Structure 1
């Protein structure tokens, strides 16, 4: 059996995130300072003190989540945990894929912070406010959700954005189409269909302008082969070639986050321990619902780090 490190996506942010790490570890403070410098902004102050609505902004939440993940990584590295010696694969949920690649050495910390700031701004700007929407569909098979999206689209955009597992799918696209799809899903027997309080229709074809912008930004950034293979959201198979990684990151902006399939891939390939590196515990909960044979471990506090380092030693 082997181990993978996974990295959380948007929605795992919370005011106060990373403060305990900064108080306890110089390596964490260095990460937060470097991200602040890269963005020319005291992002760490927003992370620790809020206000919450400012932290929740896509352009802030994305680099903030990466910063906490990398603070955990740097502390563990200082404690003697080498990614290439202890971990077989890395993966991240949406923006978490950038955190995974930073942890694996593909991107520098400063470049990752700047890429995520560009990504957040580009995704927000891709669609005028109010024209796009997302909804969570609970308890309806994926093929039925696909059918609902097709029926509701009627020339507009409506597609599955996230397959999170545990019977949870998220749809994204034009607001009227998504609202219609949510109603149809309820009629077809979904346990729940709820509109999400998001600022843009992420992971849909409406994000094409953002995908183009990320292609331009990624072309200008130095990339190294990751120390361990990454499992990209849109492909669900290990990759290490920097150009392949770039292509998958661009595709990810408009493509589906295939998290259920990612966890299932881990299970089929004897990866039975997943350490969730960073803020929150969303991915640990999802892993438990997707495959009961997989052991999920959350690592985001000083005590978590100490326990993880003992287990991995």
Structure 2
């Protein structure tokens, strides 16, 4: 069995998509469609920067999605490989869940771009700059991270945002609480805590205003039928019902990304091959979580050609 997976925020970099756009008219069409949907020249920011503009949440989220969907469309139209025929499941890390749903046909490309733009803007606006923070805990399992978060909270928000793999957990919440957590890592048997260069505390209760904004957006733009089943971030289990997908996407804004559990669950369901489209971040996490599985990262035209040959 196979799962196609899609990366989240942090995988953006200036120059992304350029090689693919130079090589393929199909990729250029994807980037143009996203630009048209957003009414901005996002691809120029992807290609040329500046880096601080690309890193802005409202740009990074649709940019990462556009890059992954460009890879997918080239794979489908030039590699002759249809996702619906080759994938048993799709999944994506945080914003990557929207990319996965676009790949599975639940959202159009234009709607996905607009939803992610709004998601980025709403997340940024939910908490004043400087009030929230996130930290990666290295050498921490979920039990140690949870205990640390509880100890550091002291009446503020400090919670597990991303359970990425057996050795990397991310905390999110009030800046003071996150700084206390970093100071307490050694007491909890954790190797290191690193403050992340993010502009908002994602996947924690402070994001409630953004969750409400997304709930409202889904009234006008509801997910449709899925051609491929999704492993959802907040449950680490399969979902195919569009009404349930919509509920989980709202919950995901404030809820935990259960990526480690999702990788294990997919492997236990029989997935032996994972294909990451548009990034090289998730593959190593999946291997550390699910063990003996085959992981392929597909970013360039050469990667696409190689993958198409292997199916």
Query: Would you call these one fold, judging by a TM-score over 0.5?
Result: yes
Q: Distance in 2 between matches of 1:144 and 1:32?
A: 42
- Give 2:182's aligned residue: 182
Q: CA deviation at 1:222?
A: 4.3
- Give 2:168's aligned residue: 168
- Give 2:44's aligned residue: 45
- Give 1:107's aligned residue: 107
Runs of 4+ in 1 over 3 A off after TM superposition: none
- Deviation digits for residues 54-109 of structure 1, max 9, x if unmatched? 10000000000000111011111113211221110000000000000000100000
1:136 aligns with 2:136: yes
- Give 1:24's aligned residue: 23
- Deviation digits for residues 267-306 of structure 1, max 9, x if unmatched? 111101110011x300011112222311110011000000
**Secondary structure at the counterpart of residue 173 of structure 2:** strand
TM-score (norm 1): 0.97
1:60 aligns with 2:59: yes
Q: Distance in 2 between matches of 1:132 and 1:97?
A: 23
Point out the more displaced range, 224-233 or 182-191.
Answer: 182-191
Contact 2:287–2:293, Cα closer than 8 Å, also in 1: yes
List runs of 5+ in structure 2 lacking aligned partners. Answer: none
TM-score (norm 2): 0.98
Q: CA deviation at 1:147?
A: 1.4
1:74 aligns with 2:81: no
Q: Distance in 2 between matches of 1:268 and 1:129?
A: 41
- Give 1:96's aligned residue: 96
CA RMSD of aligned residues (A): 0.9
List runs of 5+ in structure 1 lacking aligned partners. Answer: none
Q: Distance in 2 between matches of 1:145 and 1:47?
A: 34
- Deviation digits for residues 252-280 of structure 1, max 9, x if unmatched? 000000000011011111101110011x3
Paired residues, number:
310
Q: Distance in 2 between matches of 1:170 and 1:144?
A: 12
Q: Distance in 1 between matches of 2:128 and 2:53?
A: 19
Q: Distance in 2 between matches of 1:31 and 1:166?
A: 35
